[in-house]
Structure 1
């Protein structure tokens, strides 16, 4: 049967019941993938027309309930259909790995944010902006975003300590240098797109700064000089962190502009007051042709996504990573 692949406008022949990712690979259609088990989300694509059998459960785009998103590795083709794959020129293939690592440092960044530095026994490949599953003990497992780059000697993570949080509490109170950690990944689709030549909007709330730092560091390492605006949102001045790192990025990236916005309690001479979405609304006109990376709490990410769409950023160029709190 025929399956039309957009935007390549390529028709591939497949047998009924074939796995979509296997069919794409056999037809030499460029497609990102990693874990092959439906966990990482890297092979996400859209069913434009026709029906498929999705063993992982169809994912609905929160901005358009009509669009059914599926994971190619978990999707089986049962009839002729049309599949839209994302950006065939930005394919990343990082085979999922489980790597042993040793805690090198646990540092305090703010009153409720810790920086965890791990020394992996073997390198782990990932794209800037992706995350990994960290297992500290069998009972303490949680995904966290890398803040550095794959060629760094260490892995860096930023952890917000949640009141009553089982994993973050363990990290804050029991984790010590020398402890063993199992790192699984990489995971996630909100990674740096290196071929984009237009302006970039980055929005980071809380420890959402970690993957944004990775993306910005990756852009500099790849020689990218796109005009880039970063809006950092925090609840209060004491929640702002990473300014030294961001000032270093400003020194190395001439087209980078930093905006720090605090919800309450800030000195107007030092911090802008309000919400990051309000600041973007005030500062920015139309954003057609831009690309956006949005990382932080689900309400912030959702509001920033809606704003970015309304200002003209194409949905396919909005890469979001919402951090869900797990209190137990």
Structure 2
């Protein structure tokens, strides 16, 4: 996983949760990446990119000196967006690099003091602690937003080590697939909720099933599924 920043030729307006399509020199086609950051009139876009064996753009990023290279952008795109006027509790379920768009949503919500009035529940799924990232940023958000924002790291292959509990006391940890962990923690807590999902398609599909079984309406389940 790498953190990537793209400096724009001109400022871009985008909504929290959106993505752009990116094309790099020498690689055919575009790849969709969700923005991590949120600023009005953004002059830079931040991303997290997971190394995908055989992926053209992924291989290019990880195997080349990319600093200063000009890339082509198309966007912003995407409907899984957040606005402070939403007036609902927020549920975010993300796997791996799918957390990127959620960070943009949380950033805007925190900037607007959204969690002084509404609740937020974030479930971030990775396989092991060594795969986890943004833990420091999550802790800062939790400290900034208070008890109405709860963040749980779901580890599918191991229990959280004692060192993680000590290093990140603001966060919760649980074992299991992220959609299953979210389902357990959110039981009977879906009143006035808007859910945002992102991650591998099987994870998104499984999360949608859990939310529909919990009687969350389809207009309150938001995702842009990438294959």
TM-score range, shorter chain: 0.7 to 0.9
2:184 match = 282
2:46 match = 156
Which ranges in structure 1 are unaligned for 5 or more consecutive residues?
Answer: 1-112
One of 58, 64, 67 as aligned partner of 1:168: 58
Structure-1-length-normalised TM-score: 0.62
Report if the CA contact (8 A) 1:288-1:314 is conserved. Answer: no
Structure-2-length-normalised TM-score: 0.88
How far apart are 1:322 and its partner, in Å? Answer: 2.2
Report if the CA contact (8 A) 1:208-1:323 is conserved. Answer: no
1:122 match = 10
Matched, 1:235 2:124: no
Cα deviation digits, residues 141-195 of structure 1 (max 9, x gap) = 3111111114343110111111121110101111421111111101110111322
2:226 match = 323
Change (3 A) 1:312 1:256: same
Matched, 1:305 2:195: no
Kindly tell me the number of residue pairs found equivalent between the two proteins: 212
1:58 match = none
1:294 match = 197
Give the helix-richer structure, 1 or 2: 2
The structure whose RCO (Cα within 8 Å, separation 6+) is larger is 2
Say which SS state the counterpart of residue 160 (structure 2) adopts: coil
Report if the CA contact (8 A) 1:201-1:228 is conserved. Answer: yes
Cα deviation digits, residues 46-72 of structure 1 (max 9, x gap) = xxxxxxxxxxxxxxxxxxxxxxxxxxx
Report if the CA contact (8 A) 2:20-2:75 is conserved. Answer: yes
What is the RMSD computed on CA atoms of the aligned residues? 1.6
Report if the CA contact (8 A) 2:10-2:43 is conserved. Answer: no
Say which SS state the counterpart of residue 154 (structure 1) adopts: strand
Which piece of structure 1 moves more, 267-276 or 290-299? 267-276
Which ranges in structure 2 are unaligned for 5 or more consecutive residues?
Answer: 165-172
Matched, 1:192 2:82: yes
Matched, 1:144 2:33: yes
d(CA) in 2 for partners of 1:131, 1:198: 23
Report if the CA contact (8 A) 1:203-1:232 is conserved. Answer: yes
Change (3 A) 1:292 1:309: same
Change (3 A) 1:123 1:171: same
Matched, 1:252 2:141: no
Larger radius of gyration: 1
Cα deviation digits, residues 85-114 of structure 1 (max 9, x gap) = xxxxxxxxxxxxxxxxxxxxxxxxxxxx11
